[in-house]
C-alpha cells in the first residue's frame, strides 16, 4: 500500500472511530439541568433539576414527561428513589432526594413526540472528593508485584524492530515492535523523529478490546518518541478480521480470565508488559533518558495509573476515565468500575473478590508519584464516576482533575487538546 492510500485508510478509520465515540444528534432534545452549574453539591444539600424539551431548538410544552431518580449504579443494580409523570411547562422542576453520604444521583427523563421516544439523563455529584474506595490493599500487594517485576527482569527483552516504509513520512520513522514479556510477547508501534536528537517519550496504553494499532505519527513529528502497545501478546499490524475473530472467540471476556488465580489472572502479564514497554523506551538511542509520560483512556486510563504506580521511571501520566477502579463497589451498594463484575453468582465468590484487589487501580493509585492530569464526566455509565473518584481521591501525588460533566464514555475534542497540551508541555519543560 502506498503512502497516499495508507493515509486515506487511517483517515477513514479515525473518522469512523470519531463517529462511534461521539453522541449522535437527535431531532428532539431532552435537557435536564441541575441548579448548580458544576453539577456538584455537598452531602445532604437539596438539588433541583429543571426539565426542558426542544425540537429544532424551539422549546416544547404541554407534553408528558416521565422521570426517575436513582443512584449512579451503572447498568447492573438500579434502585429507584423517586419517579413520576408531569405535564411539561416553562417552570418544570424536580427536587432530588437528599443523600447522606458522598456519591452520585442520576435523573432520567423520557418523552414521546410524534410517536417516538426520546430520553436523556444527568448525573450529579455529592461531595465526590470525599468518596472512599471499597476495595482494600492486600498485605502482600507490594511483595506480589515486586516478585513479578523480578520475574520480568530475568526475561531478556530481545526487541525486534521492523520498519514499516508504507507508514513512514518525511519526518517520522514507523516500526512494528516485538518484545519478550513474561509468558509471551508484547507488540506495539514505535514512531520516532527522523531528525537526529534526543527526545522525551510517551507510552500509549490501550483501551479495552482487540484491534490493530497505527502509532502516533503526528506525535513523533512534534518531537517525541511515541510507543503504542497492544496487550494481548499478538502482532498489532494484522488484518482487522483477525482481531474480530479473536474478540468473538478465544479472547472474548478476557478481562475476567483466571480471576480466581492471582498468579495467572489475565492482567498480570498485561501489567508487567507495560513495564516491559518502559524498559524498551529506556533502551532507545532517540530517548533523552529522562522524561517519560504515559496516557490512555478507559482500560488505558487504568493502565496509565497502574504503570505509574509500579514504575517510578514514569514522570507524568494523563488518564481519561480509568477502568478497573474500585471493582468491588457493587458489593457495597454503589457502582463499581468496568468491567462491572461482582453482580452475580459467577463472580461473587470470595477467591475472585480477593484476587481483584491485586489488580484494582485503586491499590496502584496509592503508590503513584508521577504528576497527573485526569479527566472524565459524571454521565459515564461504563466507568462510573464513583469508581474513578475512588482512585483519584487516594492519589497523593501532584494532580489535577478536569471534569467534563455531560460526557459519558467518550471525550470532546477539547479534552484531547487539553491533555496533549498539558502532557507535551510537561515533557518539554
Reported as a single tens digit per residue, the pLDDT across 281-333 is 999 999 999 999 999 999 999 999 999 999 999 999 999 999 999 999 999 88
Distance from C-alpha of 347 to C-alpha of 285, rounded to nearest angstrom = 46
Catalytic (active site) residue 298 = yes
Q: Of the listed 52, 226, 298, 390, which one is catalytic?
A: 298
Distance CA 157, CA 266 (A): 20
Architecture of domain 141-428: 3-Layer(aba) Sandwich (3.40)
Rg of the chain in Å (alpha carbons): 23
Options 2.60.120.560, 3.40.50.2000, 2.60.40.730, 3.40.50.620; CATH of 28-130: 2.60.40.730
Residue 237: CB partners within 8 Å, gap ≥ 6? 164, 176, 189, 212, 213
Q: Is 170 a catalytic residue?
A: no
Number of H helices, E strands in the chain: 10, 18
CA distance 39 to 104: 10
Does pLDDT of 152 surpass 60? yes
Q: How far apart are CA 370 and CA 399, in angstroms?
A: 9
332 a catalytic residue: no
Whether the pLDDT of residue 18 is over 50: the answer is no
Q: Which of 326, 380, 387, 405 is catalytic?
A: 380
| pLDDT interval class at 12 (50, 70, 90) | very low
Question: Of 79 and 383, which is predicted with more confidence?
Answer: 383
Q: What is the mean pLDDT of residues 166-185?
A: 97
DSSP 136: -
Catalytic member of 176, 232, 405, 409: 409
Percentage of the chain modeled with pLDDT above 70: 93
- Long-range CB pairs of 156-163 (<8 Å, 24+ gap) are 156/180, 157/276, 157/279, 157/280, 157/283, 159/280, 159/283, 161/190
* Domain range list for the chain: 28-130, 141-428
Q: Average pLDDT of 161-175?
A: 98
Q: Is the distance from CB of 382 to CB of 338 less than 8 angstroms?
A: yes
pTM (predicted TM-score): 0.93
Amino acid at each position: 500500500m502506498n503512502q497516499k492510500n495508507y493515509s486515506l485508510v487511517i483517515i477513514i478509520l479515525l473518522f469512523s472511530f470519531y463517529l462511534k465515540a461521539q453522541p449522535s444528534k437527535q431531532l428532539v432534545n431532552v435537557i435536564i439541568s441541575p441548579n448548580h452549574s458544576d453539577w456538584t453539591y455537598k452531602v445532604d444539600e437539596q438539588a433541583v433539576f429543571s426539565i426542558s424539551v426542544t425540537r429544532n431548538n424551539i422549546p416544547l410544552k404541554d407534553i408528558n414527561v416521565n422521570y426517575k431518580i436513582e443512584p449512579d449504579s451503572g447498568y447492573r443494580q438500579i434502585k429507584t428513589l423517586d419517579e413520576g409523570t408531569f405535564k411539561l411547562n416553562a417552570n418544570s422542576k424536580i427536587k432530588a432526594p437528599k443523600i447522606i453520604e458522598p456519591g452520585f444521583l442520576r435523573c432520567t427523563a423520557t418523552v414521546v413526540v410524534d410517536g417516538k421516544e426520546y430520553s436523556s439523563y444527568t448525573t450529579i455529584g455529592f461531595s465526590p472528593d470525599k468518596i472512599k474506595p471499597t476495595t482494600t490493599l492486600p498485605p502482600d500487594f507490594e511483595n506480589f508485584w515486586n516478585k513479578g517485576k523480578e520475574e520480568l527482569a530475568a526475561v531478556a527483552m530481545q526487541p525486534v524492530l521492523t520498519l514499516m516504509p508504507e507508514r513512514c513520512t518525511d519526518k517520522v520513522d514507523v516500526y512494528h515492535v516485538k518484545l519478550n514479556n513474561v509468558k509471551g510477547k508484547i507488540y506495539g508501534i514505535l514512531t520516532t523523529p527522523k531528525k537526529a536528537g534526543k527526545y522525551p517519550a510517551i507510552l500509549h496504553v490501550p483501551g479495552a478490546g482487540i484491534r490493530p494499532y497505527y502509532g502516533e505519527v503526528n506525535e513523533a513529528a512534534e518531537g517525541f518518541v511515541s510507543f503504542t502497545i497492544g496487550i494481548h501478546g499478538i502482532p498489532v499490524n494484522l488484518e482487522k478480521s483477525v482481531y474480530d475473530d479473536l474478540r468473538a472467540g478465544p479472547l472474548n471476556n478476557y478481562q475476567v480470565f483466571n480471576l480466581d488465580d492471582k498468579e495467572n489472572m489475565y492482567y498480570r502479564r498485561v501489567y508487567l508488559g507495560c513495564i516491559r514497554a518502559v524498559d524498551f523506551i529506556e533502551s532507545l538511542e532517540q530517548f533523552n533518558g529522562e522524561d517519560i509520560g504515559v496516557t490512555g483512556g478507559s482500560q488505558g486510563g487504568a493502565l496509565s495509573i497502574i504503570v505509574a504506580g509500579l514504575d517510578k521511571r514514569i514522570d507524568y501520566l494523563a488518564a481519561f476515565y480509568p477502568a478497573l477502579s474500585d471493582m468491588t463497589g457493587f458489593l457495597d451498594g454503589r457502582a463499581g468500575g468496568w468491567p462491572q463484575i461482582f453482580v452475580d453468582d459467577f463472580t461473587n465468590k470470595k477467591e475472585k473478590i480477593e484476587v481483584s484487589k491485586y489488580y484494582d487501580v485503586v491499590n496502584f493509585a496509592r503508590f503513584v508519584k508521577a504528576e497527573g492530569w485526569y479527566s472524565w464526566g459524571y454521565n459515564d455509565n461504563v466507568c462510573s464516576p464513583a469508581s474513578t473518584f475512588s482512585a483519584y481521591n487516594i492519589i497523593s501525588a501532584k494532580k489535577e482533575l478536569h471534569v467534563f460533566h455531560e460526557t459519558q464514555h467518550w471525550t470532546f475534542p477539547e479534552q484531547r487538546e487539553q491533555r496533549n497540551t498539558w502532557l507535551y508541555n510537561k515533557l518539554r519543560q
